[in-house]
Structure 1
Amino acid sequence: MCRNIKTLFNFDPPATDDEIHASALQFVRKLSGFAKPSKANQAVFDQAVEDVAAIARRLVDSLETNAPPRNREIEAAKAKARAAARYA
């Protein structure tokens, strides 16, 4: 599950709220062990996702670096090349 959590810091353009939310969802899924929680746990699960997303947004927005921003397309191409080499 956690393989879907991507680095979100230092990209141009910056990480979107959807990307932050998707990472938070994967994180909460991993912690809870639920891909889809039961109705009894749905509210607390959803609240955890929202809490983690808010904290992740604050973190990503607060970090500083001197490195130039990374390009999403270049990083995606690198990841595809690594995957191709791994599964070839």
Structure 2
Amino acid sequence: MCRNIRTLHNFAPPANEDEVRAAALQYVRKISGFTKPSQANAEAFDRAVEAVTEVTERLLAELVTNAPPKDREVEAAKARKRAQARYTITAQAS
């Protein structure tokens, strides 16, 4: 579940609201243990997602770095290469 949370800081273009919300949703899912909460827990779950989204947006706005922004396509290509290597090794071990 938590593997879907990606680094959002220092990218060009900056993370958008949907990316921040998706990360917040994954975080709340992970710590609550719910992929989809019951009706009894839905309101608390939704409030938590909104709160984490707001805090994350504030954090990203306040972070400072001297490093140049990362390119999303380059980082995605690196991740695909790591995944391919990982799954190749796993398949060979089986």
Using structure 1 for the length normalisation, give the TM-score: 0.99
Structure 1: unaligned runs, 5 residues or longer = none
Distance 1:41 1:31 in 2: 14
Matched residue, 1:17: 17
Larger radius of gyration: 2
Q: Percent same amino acid at aligned positions? A: 62
Aligned to 1:54: 54
Alpha-carbon distance in structure 1 between the residues aligned to 2:86 and 2:56: 30
| Code of the aligned partner of 1:28 | V
Give ranges in structure 2 of 5+ residues lacking alignment: 89-94
1:31 CA displacement: 0.6
Q: Which runs of 4 or more aligned residues in structure 1 lie more than 3 Å from their structure 2 counterparts after TM superposition?
A: none
CA RMSD of aligned residues (A): 0.3
Aligned residues: 88
In structure 2, C-alpha distance between the alignment counterparts of 1:60 and 1:80, rounded to whole Å: 25
Say whether 1:30 aligns with 2:33. Answer: no
